[in-house]
Amino acid sequence: MHSESATDGDAPLDMTLRLERGGTVSDQVYDALRHAIVTVRVLPGASISENRICRSLGVSRTPVRSAIVRLAEDGLIDVYPQKGSFVAPIRLAAIAESRFIRRVLEVAVVRDAGAAWNATHSADARAAIAEQARAIAAGESEAFFRADEQFHHIFSRAAGHDGAWAAIVQANSRLGRFHRLFGNKDRLPVVLQEHASVIDALDAGDVDLAAHRLEDHIDKVFTLIDHLPEDLRRLVED
């Protein structure tokens, strides 16, 4: 067995997956599955049956398998040969590692971004913050996360660190599920304030202050782990 998975045998949702954009079928399946997992539309521990998915999507097993292989490389799916594939559990140790990677990389990136910071970057960042505020008011949580990613992306673009951004996104794919499951809605306005304070520091040319504020901002992600709701504890490991 693979220990005690959350929703093992039961198949609560028939995977409301829809293939969207063009490109190869394999890519479409990959995007759909990845989105469903990161946004926790499918919960950690859920069974991923190749047969069920290809029946549900009307495609053959080949592109589905290809997508699963890629998701397994991303650490989002665990494959147990001859037993089954399951959405990877949220391991607290892995979350801590992802947080470490993201904090270290993003702080270094923002330091480089400070050197090339200009009015356009500032305007883009404040636009992203405004979009986050709108999403909060409208209760559109996915739009909030999307704008959050846009906001953090600006630093990498300003610094020209495309590769670092790719690494950050990869680490974030683990953190994303954590945020959506355990994120406290009361903290969202605080997030906005912290975002704005980082931009304020950059606009003022104080790179050290910006880096320090960003580091604190990312670290605060872990404050909400102390009061972890009991009914969600079964979704994490360790």
Partner DNA sequence: ACCGGGACACTAGTATACAAGATAGCGCCG
Partner DNA sequence: CGGCGCTATCTTGTATACTAGTGTCCCGGT
Q: How far apart are CA 147 and CA 131, in angstroms?
A: 6
Our CA angle for 140, 145, 147, nearest 5°, is 95
- Give the sheet arrangement for strand 84-87, strand by strand: 47-48, 84-87, 77-80
- Closest Cα partner for 195 from 146, 158, 235, 151? 151
The option from a copy of itself, DNA, none interacting with 52 (CB < 5 to 8 A, set by class) reads: DNA
Binding mask 142-181 for a copy of itself (x = CB under 8 A): -------------------xxxx--x--xx----------
Cβ-contact 89, 2 below 8 angstroms: no
Least Cβ distance, residue 162 to DNA (angstroms): 23
Under the binding rule (CB under 8 A), the answer on residue 208 touching a copy of itself is no
Asked if residue 205 lies in contact with residue 61, where contact means CB atoms within 8 angstroms, the answer is: no
Q: Is 69 in the site for a copy of itself (CB under 8 A)?
A: yes
Cβ at position 97, least distance to a copy of itself in Å: 3
Q: Looking at beta carbons only, is 170 or 197 nearer to a copy of itself?
A: 170
> DSSP letters along 3-61, please?
S--TT-S---S-------SSS-HHHHHHHHHHHHHHTTSS-TT-EE-HHHHHHHHT--H
Q: Does 31 bind a copy of itself (CB under 8 A)?
A: no
Whole-angstrom distance, CA of residue 11 vs CA of residue 186: 32
Judged by CB under 8 A, does residue 82 bind a copy of itself? Answer: no
56 binds DNA (CB under 7 A): no
55: contact with a copy of itself by CB under 8 A = no
Quick one: which of 41, 52, 146, 153 contacts DNA (CB under 7 A)? 52
Q: What is the separation of C-alpha 99 from the centre of its chain, rounded to a whole number of angstroms?
A: 11
- Smallest distance, a copy of itself to C-beta of residue 61, A: 11
Q: How many helices (H) and strands (E) does the chain have?
A: 9, 5
Instruction: Tell me if 60 contacts DNA by CB under 7 A.
Output: yes
Interface with a copy of itself by CB under 8 A: which residues?
Answer: 24, 65-66, 69-70, 73-74, 81, 93-94, 97-98, 100-101, 104-105, 108, 161-164, 167, 170-171
Binding site for DNA (CB under 7 A): 1, 24-26, 48-52, 59-63, 65-66, 79-85
